[in-house]
Chain A
Amino acid sequence: MGKKVFIVIAAYNEEHSIPKVVSGLRRAGYKDIVVVDDGSKDKTFQAALNAGATVLQHIINRGQGAALKTGIDYAVQEGADIIVTFDADGQHRVEDLPAMIKPVESGKYDVTFGSRFLTKESQKNVPFLRKVYLKVGVLILLVFYGVKMTDAHNGFRALSQKAAKKIRITADRMAHASEIVEEVHRLKLKYKEVPVIIRYTELTLKKGHGSFMEGCRILYTMIMKKFLLR
Protein backbone atom coordinates (compact mmCIF):
# COMPACT_ATOMS: atom_id res chain seq x y z
CA MET A 1 0.00 0.00 0.00
CA GLY A 2 1.07 3.55 0.49
CA LYS A 3 -0.05 4.59 -2.94
CA LYS A 4 -2.45 7.47 -3.07
CA VAL A 5 -5.75 6.23 -4.46
CA PHE A 6 -8.34 8.75 -5.59
CA ILE A 7 -11.89 7.71 -6.33
CA VAL A 8 -13.53 9.97 -8.89
CA ILE A 9 -17.31 10.02 -9.18
CA ALA A 10 -19.30 12.02 -11.70
CA ALA A 11 -22.73 12.79 -10.34
CA TYR A 12 -25.73 14.38 -11.97
CA ASN A 13 -28.91 14.56 -9.92
CA GLU A 14 -27.86 11.79 -7.55
CA GLU A 15 -28.80 13.28 -4.17
CA HIS A 16 -30.41 10.02 -3.07
CA SER A 17 -27.65 7.60 -3.97
CA ILE A 18 -24.50 9.66 -3.54
CA PRO A 19 -24.39 9.69 0.31
CA LYS A 20 -24.52 5.90 0.43
CA VAL A 21 -21.85 5.51 -2.24
CA VAL A 22 -19.48 7.98 -0.58
CA SER A 23 -19.93 6.64 2.93
CA GLY A 24 -19.51 3.08 1.66
CA LEU A 25 -16.17 4.05 0.16
CA ARG A 26 -15.09 5.85 3.32
CA ARG A 27 -15.99 2.86 5.46
CA ALA A 28 -13.77 0.74 3.23
CA GLY A 29 -10.91 3.09 3.99
CA TYR A 30 -10.76 5.25 0.89
CA LYS A 31 -10.09 8.78 2.01
CA ASP A 32 -9.69 10.67 -1.22
CA ILE A 33 -13.11 10.71 -2.79
CA VAL A 34 -13.75 13.33 -5.42
CA VAL A 35 -17.33 13.89 -6.46
CA VAL A 36 -17.88 16.10 -9.48
CA ASP A 37 -21.35 17.56 -9.27
CA ASP A 38 -22.15 18.04 -12.91
CA GLY A 39 -24.53 20.94 -12.60
CA SER A 40 -27.16 18.94 -10.76
CA LYS A 41 -30.58 20.45 -10.25
CA ASP A 42 -31.08 18.65 -6.96
CA LYS A 43 -28.99 18.72 -3.77
CA THR A 44 -26.24 16.39 -4.98
CA PHE A 45 -23.59 18.97 -4.10
CA GLN A 46 -24.61 19.29 -0.47
CA ALA A 47 -25.29 15.57 -0.11
CA ALA A 48 -21.83 14.63 -1.34
CA LEU A 49 -20.24 17.27 0.86
CA ASN A 50 -22.09 16.04 3.95
CA ALA A 51 -21.06 12.48 3.21
CA GLY A 52 -17.44 13.55 3.39
CA ALA A 53 -16.31 13.81 -0.19
CA THR A 54 -14.30 16.56 -1.82
CA VAL A 55 -16.77 18.13 -4.19
CA LEU A 56 -16.03 19.94 -7.41
CA GLN A 57 -18.91 21.72 -8.99
CA HIS A 58 -19.64 22.18 -12.66
CA ILE A 59 -21.74 25.32 -12.69
CA ILE A 60 -23.57 24.01 -15.73
CA ASN A 61 -24.13 20.44 -16.85
CA ARG A 62 -21.40 19.30 -19.23
CA GLY A 63 -21.92 15.55 -19.35
CA GLN A 64 -20.37 12.53 -17.73
CA GLY A 65 -17.21 12.50 -19.82
CA ALA A 66 -16.50 16.12 -19.00
CA ALA A 67 -17.18 15.58 -15.30
CA LEU A 68 -14.89 12.57 -15.07
CA LYS A 69 -12.14 14.49 -16.80
CA THR A 70 -12.54 17.31 -14.30
CA GLY A 71 -12.24 14.84 -11.42
CA ILE A 72 -9.26 13.08 -12.99
CA ASP A 73 -7.45 16.38 -13.63
CA TYR A 74 -8.03 17.40 -10.05
CA ALA A 75 -6.83 14.05 -8.70
CA VAL A 76 -3.65 14.30 -10.75
CA GLN A 77 -3.12 17.82 -9.50
CA GLU A 78 -3.48 16.57 -5.94
CA GLY A 79 -0.81 13.95 -6.51
CA ALA A 80 -2.91 10.83 -6.96
CA ASP A 81 -0.96 7.69 -7.89
CA ILE A 82 -4.03 5.74 -8.89
CA ILE A 83 -7.35 7.12 -10.04
CA VAL A 84 -10.50 5.03 -10.02
CA THR A 85 -13.63 6.09 -11.85
CA PHE A 86 -16.66 4.95 -9.93
CA ASP A 87 -20.38 5.20 -10.45
CA ALA A 88 -22.59 7.59 -8.52
CA ASP A 89 -25.71 5.49 -8.32
CA GLY A 90 -24.39 2.44 -6.55
CA GLN A 91 -23.84 0.21 -9.56
CA HIS A 92 -20.27 -0.55 -8.64
CA ARG A 93 -19.32 -2.58 -5.59
CA VAL A 94 -16.72 -1.38 -3.14
CA GLU A 95 -15.67 -5.04 -2.77
CA ASP A 96 -14.40 -5.03 -6.35
CA LEU A 97 -12.05 -2.12 -5.75
CA PRO A 98 -8.96 -4.03 -4.51
CA ALA A 99 -9.00 -6.29 -7.54
CA MET A 100 -9.34 -3.28 -9.83
CA ILE A 101 -6.55 -1.34 -8.15
CA LYS A 102 -4.02 -4.10 -7.65
CA PRO A 103 -2.83 -4.59 -11.23
CA VAL A 104 -2.20 -0.85 -11.54
CA GLU A 105 -0.68 -0.58 -8.10
CA SER A 106 1.83 -3.30 -8.88
CA GLY A 107 2.98 -1.25 -11.85
CA LYS A 108 2.36 -4.10 -14.28
CA TYR A 109 -0.58 -2.37 -15.91
CA ASP A 110 -1.45 1.24 -16.66
CA VAL A 111 -5.19 0.80 -16.79
CA THR A 112 -7.80 -1.70 -15.63
CA PHE A 113 -11.32 -1.93 -16.96
CA GLY A 114 -14.11 -3.57 -15.05
CA SER A 115 -15.84 -6.24 -17.09
CA ARG A 116 -19.18 -7.94 -16.66
CA PHE A 117 -18.34 -10.66 -19.12
CA LEU A 118 -15.30 -12.41 -17.72
CA THR A 119 -17.03 -14.74 -15.31
CA LYS A 120 -20.38 -16.50 -15.36
CA GLU A 121 -21.29 -14.99 -12.05
CA SER A 122 -20.73 -11.39 -13.07
CA GLN A 123 -22.86 -11.56 -16.19
CA LYS A 124 -25.84 -13.47 -14.98
CA ASN A 125 -27.63 -10.38 -13.70
CA VAL A 126 -27.06 -8.32 -16.83
CA PRO A 127 -30.43 -7.81 -18.52
CA PHE A 128 -30.66 -9.44 -21.92
CA LEU A 129 -31.25 -6.32 -23.98
CA ARG A 130 -28.35 -4.61 -22.27
CA LYS A 131 -26.13 -7.53 -23.11
CA VAL A 132 -26.98 -7.09 -26.76
CA TYR A 133 -26.15 -3.36 -26.68
CA LEU A 134 -22.93 -3.95 -24.82
CA LYS A 135 -21.82 -6.55 -27.29
CA VAL A 136 -22.56 -4.16 -30.13
CA GLY A 137 -20.39 -1.65 -28.27
CA VAL A 138 -17.61 -4.18 -28.02
CA LEU A 139 -17.94 -4.91 -31.73
CA ILE A 140 -17.75 -1.21 -32.56
CA LEU A 141 -14.55 -0.87 -30.54
CA LEU A 142 -13.12 -3.76 -32.50
CA VAL A 143 -14.09 -2.23 -35.84
CA PHE A 144 -13.08 1.34 -34.97
CA TYR A 145 -9.92 0.85 -33.01
CA GLY A 146 -9.04 -2.81 -33.43
CA VAL A 147 -9.29 -3.32 -29.68
CA LYS A 148 -10.65 -6.61 -28.50
CA MET A 149 -12.32 -6.30 -25.13
CA THR A 150 -15.16 -8.12 -23.45
CA ASP A 151 -16.78 -5.04 -21.98
CA ALA A 152 -15.66 -1.45 -21.92
CA HIS A 153 -18.70 0.54 -21.07
CA ASN A 154 -19.45 0.08 -17.43
CA GLY A 155 -17.50 3.06 -16.15
CA PHE A 156 -15.45 1.16 -13.60
CA ARG A 157 -11.78 1.83 -14.34
CA ALA A 158 -8.50 2.34 -12.56
CA LEU A 159 -5.81 4.52 -14.13
CA SER A 160 -2.21 5.02 -13.16
CA GLN A 161 -1.09 8.61 -12.79
CA LYS A 162 0.87 8.26 -16.00
CA ALA A 163 -2.19 7.01 -17.87
CA ALA A 164 -4.40 9.71 -16.38
CA LYS A 165 -2.00 12.40 -17.51
CA LYS A 166 -1.77 11.09 -21.04
CA ILE A 167 -5.34 10.14 -21.83
CA ARG A 168 -7.24 12.90 -23.54
CA ILE A 169 -10.97 12.94 -23.02
CA THR A 170 -12.68 15.26 -25.45
CA ALA A 171 -16.11 13.64 -25.57
CA ASP A 172 -18.18 15.48 -23.01
CA ARG A 173 -21.00 13.01 -22.91
CA MET A 174 -21.25 9.26 -23.02
CA ALA A 175 -18.82 8.62 -25.86
CA HIS A 176 -15.94 9.10 -23.41
CA ALA A 177 -16.04 5.41 -22.49
CA SER A 178 -15.11 4.41 -26.02
CA GLU A 179 -12.72 7.32 -26.25
CA ILE A 180 -10.76 6.12 -23.24
CA VAL A 181 -10.38 2.71 -24.87
CA GLU A 182 -9.20 4.41 -28.04
CA GLU A 183 -6.68 6.46 -26.09
CA VAL A 184 -5.35 3.43 -24.25
CA HIS A 185 -4.88 1.82 -27.63
CA ARG A 186 -3.29 4.88 -29.23
CA LEU A 187 -0.88 5.43 -26.34
CA LYS A 188 -0.08 1.73 -26.19
CA LEU A 189 -0.85 1.59 -22.49
CA LYS A 190 -0.95 -1.80 -20.84
CA TYR A 191 -4.44 -2.67 -19.78
CA LYS A 192 -6.26 -5.50 -18.15
CA GLU A 193 -9.89 -6.39 -17.75
CA VAL A 194 -11.02 -7.35 -14.28
CA PRO A 195 -14.26 -9.14 -13.53
CA VAL A 196 -16.69 -6.99 -11.60
CA ILE A 197 -20.31 -7.34 -10.67
CA ILE A 198 -22.60 -4.53 -11.66
CA ARG A 199 -25.66 -4.06 -9.53
CA TYR A 200 -28.70 -3.32 -11.58
CA THR A 201 -31.44 -1.56 -9.71
CA GLU A 202 -34.71 -0.35 -11.07
CA LEU A 203 -33.38 3.17 -10.98
CA THR A 204 -30.26 2.48 -13.02
CA LEU A 205 -32.27 0.58 -15.57
CA LYS A 206 -34.78 3.35 -15.89
CA LYS A 207 -32.08 5.90 -16.58
CA GLY A 208 -31.39 3.87 -19.66
CA HIS A 209 -27.76 4.33 -20.47
CA GLY A 210 -27.28 1.81 -23.16
CA SER A 211 -30.64 2.57 -24.63
CA PHE A 212 -30.87 2.45 -28.37
CA MET A 213 -30.95 6.20 -28.88
CA GLU A 214 -28.06 6.72 -26.51
CA GLY A 215 -26.06 4.17 -28.47
CA CYS A 216 -26.81 5.92 -31.72
CA ARG A 217 -25.73 9.24 -30.29
CA ILE A 218 -22.47 7.75 -29.06
CA LEU A 219 -21.79 6.24 -32.44
CA TYR A 220 -22.55 9.57 -34.11
CA THR A 221 -20.11 11.38 -31.81
CA MET A 222 -17.44 8.76 -32.45
CA ILE A 223 -17.81 9.00 -36.21
CA MET A 224 -17.80 12.80 -36.20
CA LYS A 225 -14.74 12.88 -33.97
CA LYS A 226 -12.90 10.28 -35.96
CA PHE A 227 -13.49 11.62 -39.42
CA LEU A 228 -14.16 15.31 -39.10
CA LEU A 229 -12.38 16.74 -36.15
CA ARG A 230 -9.03 15.08 -35.93
Chain B
Amino acid sequence: MNISVLQIIVVVFALFAWSRAILRLKDRKIAISEFIFWTVIWAAVIVTSLLPATANAVSTFFGISRPIDLAIYVSILLLLYLMFRMYVKHEQLEQEMTKLVREVAVRLPKRK
Protein backbone atom coordinates (compact mmCIF):
# COMPACT_ATOMS: atom_id res chain seq x y z
CA MET B 1 0.00 0.00 0.00
CA ASN B 2 1.41 3.36 -1.03
CA ILE B 3 0.93 6.07 1.53
CA SER B 4 1.28 9.66 0.41
CA VAL B 5 2.60 12.54 2.49
CA LEU B 6 -0.84 14.07 2.65
CA GLN B 7 -2.27 10.89 4.12
CA ILE B 8 0.39 10.85 6.80
CA ILE B 9 -0.28 14.48 7.68
CA VAL B 10 -4.01 13.88 7.91
CA VAL B 11 -3.59 10.80 10.09
CA VAL B 12 -1.09 12.48 12.40
CA PHE B 13 -3.32 15.51 12.71
CA ALA B 14 -6.37 13.36 13.46
CA LEU B 15 -4.48 11.44 16.12
CA PHE B 16 -3.24 14.67 17.61
CA ALA B 17 -6.77 16.10 17.69
CA TRP B 18 -8.07 12.89 19.21
CA SER B 19 -5.39 13.01 21.92
CA ARG B 20 -6.62 16.50 22.80
CA ALA B 21 -10.12 15.08 23.15
CA ILE B 22 -8.78 12.42 25.53
CA LEU B 23 -7.06 15.10 27.61
CA ARG B 24 -10.24 17.21 27.76
CA LEU B 25 -12.16 14.12 28.81
CA LYS B 26 -9.62 13.43 31.56
CA ASP B 27 -9.96 16.87 33.08
CA ARG B 28 -13.72 16.64 32.58
CA LYS B 29 -13.99 19.62 30.24
CA ILE B 30 -16.12 17.54 27.87
CA ALA B 31 -18.75 14.90 28.55
CA ILE B 32 -18.33 11.26 27.57
CA SER B 33 -20.93 11.73 24.82
CA GLU B 34 -18.90 14.53 23.29
CA PHE B 35 -15.78 12.42 23.50
CA ILE B 36 -17.52 9.60 21.63
CA PHE B 37 -18.67 12.10 19.01
CA TRP B 38 -15.15 13.33 18.39
CA THR B 39 -13.76 9.80 18.43
CA VAL B 40 -16.16 8.83 15.67
CA ILE B 41 -15.31 11.94 13.66
CA TRP B 42 -11.54 11.49 13.83
CA ALA B 43 -11.78 7.75 13.29
CA ALA B 44 -13.80 8.43 10.15
CA VAL B 45 -11.16 10.90 8.99
CA ILE B 46 -8.38 8.35 9.48
CA VAL B 47 -10.26 5.55 7.79
CA THR B 48 -11.27 7.61 4.74
CA SER B 49 -7.77 8.98 4.30
CA LEU B 50 -6.07 5.57 4.50
CA LEU B 51 -8.77 3.60 2.68
CA PRO B 52 -10.60 5.92 0.28
CA ALA B 53 -12.51 2.90 -1.01
CA THR B 54 -14.50 2.76 2.23
CA ALA B 55 -15.85 6.22 1.50
CA ASN B 56 -17.05 4.94 -1.83
CA ALA B 57 -18.71 1.98 -0.16
CA VAL B 58 -20.44 4.22 2.36
CA SER B 59 -21.78 6.65 -0.23
CA THR B 60 -22.97 3.82 -2.49
CA PHE B 61 -24.72 2.34 0.52
CA PHE B 62 -26.67 5.59 0.84
CA GLY B 63 -27.37 5.55 -2.88
CA ILE B 64 -25.08 8.48 -3.68
CA SER B 65 -22.48 7.86 -6.34
CA ARG B 66 -19.74 10.22 -5.21
CA PRO B 67 -18.46 10.35 -1.61
CA ILE B 68 -17.94 14.08 -1.88
CA ASP B 69 -21.66 14.56 -2.53
CA LEU B 70 -22.47 12.59 0.60
CA ALA B 71 -20.02 14.72 2.55
CA ILE B 72 -21.74 17.89 1.31
CA TYR B 73 -25.22 16.63 2.17
CA VAL B 74 -24.12 15.59 5.63
CA SER B 75 -22.39 18.93 6.20
CA ILE B 76 -25.46 20.88 5.19
CA LEU B 77 -27.62 18.89 7.59
CA LEU B 78 -25.08 19.30 10.34
CA LEU B 79 -24.82 23.04 9.75
CA LEU B 80 -28.59 23.43 9.82
CA TYR B 81 -28.75 21.55 13.07
CA LEU B 82 -25.98 23.64 14.59
CA MET B 83 -27.71 26.80 13.44
CA PHE B 84 -30.87 25.69 15.16
CA ARG B 85 -28.94 25.00 18.34
CA MET B 86 -27.36 28.42 18.14
CA TYR B 87 -30.72 30.06 17.56
CA VAL B 88 -32.10 28.46 20.70
CA LYS B 89 -29.00 29.36 22.67
CA HIS B 90 -29.13 32.93 21.41
CA GLU B 91 -32.77 33.22 22.39
CA GLN B 92 -31.96 31.90 25.85
CA LEU B 93 -29.18 34.44 26.24
CA GLU B 94 -31.46 37.26 25.14
CA GLN B 95 -34.04 36.21 27.69
CA GLU B 96 -31.48 35.94 30.44
CA MET B 97 -30.18 39.37 29.57
CA THR B 98 -33.68 40.80 29.71
CA LYS B 99 -34.22 39.15 33.07
CA LEU B 100 -31.04 40.69 34.37
CA VAL B 101 -31.90 44.16 33.07
CA ARG B 102 -35.40 43.80 34.53
CA GLU B 103 -34.10 42.72 37.92
CA VAL B 104 -31.87 45.78 38.12
CA ALA B 105 -34.74 48.05 37.04
CA VAL B 106 -37.27 46.69 39.52
CA ARG B 107 -34.83 46.86 42.40
CA LEU B 108 -34.01 50.49 41.83
CA PRO B 109 -37.24 52.41 41.22
CA LYS B 110 -36.74 56.16 41.12
CA ARG B 111 -39.25 58.66 42.36
CA LYS B 112 -39.14 62.39 42.91
Interface residues of A (CB under 8 A from B): 34, 36, 39, 45, 49-50, 52, 54-60, 62, 66, 69-70, 73-74, 77, 170, 172, 224, 228-229
Contact = CB atoms under 8 A, between A and B. Distances in A.
A50 B112 CA distance: 7
A70 B105 CA distance: 8
Interface of B: 84, 87-88, 91, 94-95, 97-98, 101-102, 104-106, 108-112
Nearest to A52: B112
B104 A59 contact: yes
5 contacts: A34-B109, A57-B105, A58-B101, A62-B97, A70-B101
Contacts of B97: 60, 62
Nearest to B91: A229
B109 A66 contact: no
A24 B20 CA distance: 67
B101 A55 contact: no
A228 B84 contact: yes
Given A66-B98, A172-B94, A172-B98, A57 B108 contact: yes
Given A172-B94, A172-B98, A224 B106 contact: no
Contacts of B101: 39, 58-60, 62, 66, 70
A228 B88 CA distance: 8
B92 to A, nearest CB: 9
B102 A70 contact: yes
Nearest to A65: B98
Contact of A49 (B87, B95, B112): B112
B110 A73 contact: no
Contacts, number: 61
B102 A66 contact: yes
B77 to A, nearest CB: 17
Given A228-B88, A229-B91, A73 B104 contact: no
Contacts of A170: 95
A58 B105 contact: yes
Please name the 5 residue pairs, one residue from A and one from B, whose CB atoms are nearest each other, closest first. Answer: A56-B105, A70-B102, A66-B98, A55-B110, A62-B98
Given A172-B98, A228-B88, A36 B111 contact: no
Contact of A73 (B84, B94, B106, B112): B106
A74 B111 contact: no
Interface centre among A39, A69, A77, A172 (most CB of B within 10 A): A172
A62 B95 CA distance: 9
A74 B106 contact: yes
A77 B102 CA distance: 13
Contacts of B91: 224, 229
A54 B111 contact: yes
A66 B102 CA distance: 8
Given A62-B97, A224-B87, A228-B87, A55 B111 contact: yes
Contact of B105 (A36, A172, A224, A229): A36
A41 to B, nearest CB: 16
Interface centre among B95, B97, B102, B106 (most CB of A within 10 A): B102
